[in-house]
Amino acid sequence: MGASHNIVRVLSKLGICSRKQAVGYVQSGRVRLNGKIVRDPGAPARLTDNIVVAGKLPVKKEKIYIILNKPAGCVTTRSDELGRRTVYDYLGDMGQWLFPVGRLDLESEGLLLFTNDTELGNRLTDPRYKIPRTYNVTVDGVFSAGELDRIRRGGIAIGRGEITGPAVLSVIDEQPGSCTVRITLTEGKNRELRRMFEVFNKKVLRLLRTDFGGFKLGDIPPGQWRKCQIPASLN
Protein backbone atom coordinates (compact mmCIF):
# COMPACT_ATOMS: atom_id res chain seq x y z
CA MET A 1 0.00 0.00 0.00
CA GLY A 2 3.00 2.30 0.32
CA ALA A 3 4.50 4.14 3.24
CA SER A 4 2.31 6.53 5.22
CA HIS A 5 3.26 10.21 5.49
CA ASN A 6 1.23 13.29 6.32
CA ILE A 7 -0.78 15.01 3.60
CA VAL A 8 1.60 17.98 3.42
CA ARG A 9 4.59 15.76 2.77
CA VAL A 10 2.68 13.73 0.17
CA LEU A 11 1.73 16.89 -1.77
CA SER A 12 5.40 17.89 -1.74
CA LYS A 13 6.55 14.43 -2.79
CA LEU A 14 4.10 14.47 -5.70
CA GLY A 15 5.78 17.65 -6.90
CA ILE A 16 2.59 19.69 -6.60
CA CYS A 17 3.95 22.39 -4.30
CA SER A 18 6.29 23.11 -1.43
CA ARG A 19 5.39 21.92 2.07
CA LYS A 20 4.67 25.51 3.11
CA GLN A 21 2.27 25.95 0.20
CA ALA A 22 0.68 22.57 0.98
CA VAL A 23 -0.15 23.70 4.52
CA GLY A 24 -2.06 26.64 3.07
CA TYR A 25 -3.93 24.45 0.59
CA VAL A 26 -4.96 22.03 3.32
CA GLN A 27 -5.97 24.62 5.90
CA SER A 28 -8.10 26.47 3.32
CA GLY A 29 -10.04 23.29 2.51
CA ARG A 30 -8.76 22.96 -1.06
CA VAL A 31 -7.53 19.38 -0.64
CA ARG A 32 -9.67 16.24 -0.82
CA LEU A 33 -8.17 12.99 0.40
CA ASN A 34 -10.00 9.87 -0.75
CA GLY A 35 -13.16 11.91 -1.35
CA LYS A 36 -13.13 13.90 1.90
CA ILE A 37 -11.91 17.44 2.53
CA VAL A 38 -8.93 17.38 4.88
CA ARG A 39 -7.95 20.45 6.90
CA ASP A 40 -5.32 18.95 9.19
CA PRO A 41 -1.77 19.29 7.73
CA GLY A 42 -0.76 16.31 9.85
CA ALA A 43 -3.43 13.99 8.47
CA PRO A 44 -1.92 10.65 7.39
CA ALA A 45 -1.79 10.00 3.65
CA ARG A 46 -0.04 7.81 1.09
CA LEU A 47 1.34 8.53 -2.34
CA THR A 48 -1.16 6.02 -3.73
CA ASP A 49 -4.21 7.76 -2.19
CA ASN A 50 -6.78 9.58 -4.29
CA ILE A 51 -5.86 13.24 -3.79
CA VAL A 52 -7.59 16.20 -5.42
CA VAL A 53 -6.22 19.73 -5.08
CA ALA A 54 -8.45 22.70 -5.94
CA GLY A 55 -10.80 20.35 -7.82
CA LYS A 56 -8.11 18.79 -9.96
CA LEU A 57 -6.23 15.51 -9.83
CA PRO A 58 -2.42 15.89 -9.66
CA VAL A 59 -0.95 15.63 -13.14
CA LYS A 60 2.00 13.34 -13.72
CA LYS A 61 4.80 15.68 -14.73
CA GLU A 62 7.96 15.15 -16.72
CA LYS A 63 10.94 14.62 -14.47
CA ILE A 64 13.27 17.60 -14.59
CA TYR A 65 16.88 17.89 -13.46
CA ILE A 66 18.59 21.27 -13.27
CA ILE A 67 22.06 22.18 -12.05
CA LEU A 68 22.52 25.69 -10.71
CA ASN A 69 26.00 27.09 -10.08
CA LYS A 70 25.07 28.67 -6.76
CA PRO A 71 26.98 31.87 -6.02
CA ALA A 72 28.16 32.75 -2.53
CA GLY A 73 25.87 35.04 -0.57
CA CYS A 74 22.48 33.47 -1.36
CA VAL A 75 20.46 31.04 0.72
CA THR A 76 18.99 27.69 -0.29
CA THR A 77 15.37 28.52 0.52
CA ARG A 78 12.29 29.71 -1.35
CA SER A 79 12.18 32.98 0.63
CA ASP A 80 14.24 34.57 3.38
CA GLU A 81 12.97 36.53 6.37
CA LEU A 82 16.13 38.65 6.31
CA GLY A 83 15.59 39.68 2.71
CA ARG A 84 18.68 37.90 1.43
CA ARG A 85 18.86 36.63 -2.13
CA THR A 86 17.75 33.03 -2.56
CA VAL A 87 18.65 30.36 -5.08
CA TYR A 88 15.16 30.73 -6.58
CA ASP A 89 16.03 34.30 -7.58
CA TYR A 90 18.57 32.75 -9.96
CA LEU A 91 16.37 29.85 -11.00
CA GLY A 92 13.36 31.97 -11.93
CA ASP A 93 9.85 30.69 -12.63
CA MET A 94 10.06 27.13 -13.96
CA GLY A 95 6.29 26.74 -14.17
CA GLN A 96 6.25 24.05 -11.50
CA TRP A 97 7.66 23.25 -8.08
CA LEU A 98 11.31 22.16 -8.13
CA PHE A 99 13.12 21.46 -4.89
CA PRO A 100 16.84 21.58 -4.11
CA VAL A 101 18.44 18.24 -3.32
CA GLY A 102 20.29 18.98 -0.12
CA ARG A 103 21.62 22.43 0.61
CA LEU A 104 24.66 24.63 0.34
CA ASP A 105 25.11 27.16 3.14
CA LEU A 106 25.12 30.91 2.61
CA GLU A 107 28.77 31.31 1.58
CA SER A 108 29.21 27.97 -0.20
CA GLU A 109 29.18 27.83 -3.99
CA GLY A 110 28.79 25.42 -6.85
CA LEU A 111 26.60 22.52 -7.86
CA LEU A 112 23.06 22.65 -6.51
CA LEU A 113 20.66 20.16 -8.04
CA PHE A 114 16.96 20.98 -8.46
CA THR A 115 14.37 18.42 -9.49
CA ASN A 116 10.74 17.34 -9.16
CA ASP A 117 11.90 13.71 -8.85
CA THR A 118 11.28 13.05 -5.17
CA GLU A 119 12.40 9.42 -5.38
CA LEU A 120 15.82 10.45 -6.70
CA GLY A 121 16.04 13.33 -4.24
CA ASN A 122 15.44 10.98 -1.32
CA ARG A 123 18.01 8.52 -2.64
CA LEU A 124 20.71 11.17 -3.08
CA THR A 125 20.28 12.49 0.46
CA ASP A 126 19.79 9.16 2.25
CA PRO A 127 23.02 8.33 4.17
CA ARG A 128 22.49 4.61 3.49
CA TYR A 129 23.40 5.05 -0.17
CA LYS A 130 26.74 6.81 0.51
CA ILE A 131 26.36 9.16 -2.45
CA PRO A 132 29.70 10.90 -3.21
CA ARG A 133 29.97 14.68 -3.06
CA THR A 134 33.16 16.41 -4.23
CA TYR A 135 34.33 19.88 -3.25
CA ASN A 136 37.23 22.21 -3.93
CA VAL A 137 37.97 23.93 -0.64
CA THR A 138 40.46 26.75 -0.05
CA VAL A 139 41.59 27.31 3.53
CA ASP A 140 43.98 29.66 5.27
CA GLY A 141 47.21 27.87 6.11
CA VAL A 142 48.44 24.50 4.92
CA PHE A 143 47.87 20.95 6.13
CA SER A 144 50.56 18.69 7.45
CA ALA A 145 50.85 15.15 6.10
CA GLY A 146 49.49 13.88 9.41
CA GLU A 147 46.43 16.13 9.23
CA LEU A 148 45.68 15.00 5.68
CA ASP A 149 45.89 11.38 6.78
CA ARG A 150 43.51 12.02 9.69
CA ILE A 151 40.95 13.56 7.36
CA ARG A 152 41.25 10.63 4.94
CA ARG A 153 40.74 8.08 7.73
CA GLY A 154 37.72 9.86 9.21
CA GLY A 155 36.66 9.50 12.81
CA ILE A 156 37.06 13.21 13.59
CA ALA A 157 34.67 14.57 16.22
CA ILE A 158 33.06 17.74 14.83
CA GLY A 159 30.56 18.46 17.61
CA ARG A 160 26.87 17.64 18.15
CA GLY A 161 27.95 14.05 18.73
CA GLU A 162 28.87 13.66 15.05
CA ILE A 163 31.93 11.88 13.64
CA THR A 164 33.30 12.24 10.12
CA GLY A 165 33.54 9.28 7.77
CA PRO A 166 36.46 8.43 5.47
CA ALA A 167 37.25 10.90 2.70
CA VAL A 168 39.21 10.98 -0.55
CA LEU A 169 41.49 13.99 -0.32
CA SER A 170 44.25 15.59 -2.39
CA VAL A 171 46.00 18.96 -2.36
CA ILE A 172 45.49 20.65 -5.73
CA ASP A 173 47.12 24.03 -5.03
CA GLU A 174 49.33 25.49 -2.36
CA GLN A 175 50.20 29.15 -1.92
CA PRO A 176 51.96 31.06 0.87
CA GLY A 177 49.40 31.12 3.67
CA SER A 178 46.68 29.08 1.96
CA CYS A 179 45.97 25.87 0.11
CA THR A 180 43.18 24.30 -1.91
CA VAL A 181 42.16 20.68 -1.46
CA ARG A 182 39.81 18.46 -3.43
CA ILE A 183 37.78 16.29 -1.11
CA THR A 184 35.07 13.69 -1.68
CA LEU A 185 32.67 12.69 1.08
CA THR A 186 29.87 10.14 1.09
CA GLU A 187 27.73 11.85 3.71
CA GLY A 188 25.91 15.16 4.01
CA LYS A 189 26.25 16.40 7.57
CA ASN A 190 25.37 20.06 8.10
CA ARG A 191 28.40 22.30 7.44
CA GLU A 192 30.60 19.23 7.82
CA LEU A 193 33.64 20.55 5.96
CA ARG A 194 33.71 23.88 7.77
CA ARG A 195 33.33 22.17 11.14
CA MET A 196 35.98 19.56 10.29
CA PHE A 197 38.57 22.09 9.15
CA GLU A 198 37.95 24.14 12.31
CA VAL A 199 39.30 21.16 14.24
CA PHE A 200 42.64 21.86 12.53
CA ASN A 201 42.33 25.63 13.08
CA LYS A 202 41.78 26.20 9.38
CA LYS A 203 39.26 28.79 8.23
CA VAL A 204 37.45 28.03 4.98
CA LEU A 205 38.02 30.86 2.50
CA ARG A 206 36.08 29.29 -0.35
CA LEU A 207 33.99 26.13 -0.70
CA LEU A 208 32.85 25.01 -4.16
CA ARG A 209 30.90 21.79 -4.83
CA THR A 210 31.83 20.35 -8.23
CA ASP A 211 30.22 16.86 -8.26
CA PHE A 212 27.22 15.24 -6.59
CA GLY A 213 26.20 11.63 -7.21
CA GLY A 214 27.32 11.66 -10.84
CA PHE A 215 25.98 15.15 -11.59
CA LYS A 216 28.81 17.52 -12.55
CA LEU A 217 29.05 21.31 -12.40
CA GLY A 218 31.17 21.53 -15.53
CA ASP A 219 31.49 24.98 -17.09
CA ILE A 220 28.19 26.48 -15.88
CA PRO A 221 28.94 30.12 -14.92
CA PRO A 222 28.11 31.33 -11.38
CA GLY A 223 24.44 32.29 -11.08
CA GLN A 224 23.49 30.33 -14.21
CA TRP A 225 21.72 26.98 -14.55
CA ARG A 226 21.41 24.21 -17.08
CA LYS A 227 19.01 21.31 -17.62
CA CYS A 228 20.69 17.91 -17.54
CA GLN A 229 19.98 14.21 -17.72
CA ILE A 230 20.13 11.80 -14.83
CA PRO A 231 23.60 10.17 -14.81
CA ALA A 232 23.81 6.57 -15.98
CA SER A 233 25.27 5.62 -12.60
CA LEU A 234 21.93 6.48 -10.95
CA ASN A 235 19.68 4.58 -13.36
In the chain, what are the domain boundaries?
A: 4-53, 65-127+221-234, 132-212
- pLDDT tens-digit readout, 120-130: 988 999 999 99
The reply to whether domains 4-53 and 65-127+221-234 share a CATH topology is no
Q: Report how many helices (DSSP H) and strands (DSSP E) the chain contains, helices first.
A: 6, 14
**52 closest CA partner among 16, 97, 9:** 16
DSSP 186: S
Catalytic residues: 105
- pLDDT tens-digit readout, 82-107: 999 999 999 988 777 788 998 999 99
Residue 227 phi/psi, 5° resolution?
-70, 150
Specify the CATH number of the domain 132-212: 3.30.70.1560
Tens digits of pLDDT across the chain (235 residues): 445 688 998 887 777 777 888 899 999 999 999 999 999 999 999 877 888 888 876 655 688 999 999 999 999 988 888 999 999 999 988 777 788 998 999 999 999 999 988 889 889 999 999 999 999 999 999 999 999 999 999 999 999 899 999 999 999 999 999 999 999 999 989 999 999 999 999 999 999 999 999 999 999 999 999 999 999 888 7
Please indicate, yes or no, whether the overall pTM of this predicted structure exceeds 0.85: no
Architecture of domain 65-127+221-234: 2-Layer Sandwich (3.30)
- Show Cβ contacts of residue 95 under 8 Å, excluding neighbours closer than 6 positions: none
Architecture of domain 4-53: Roll (3.10)
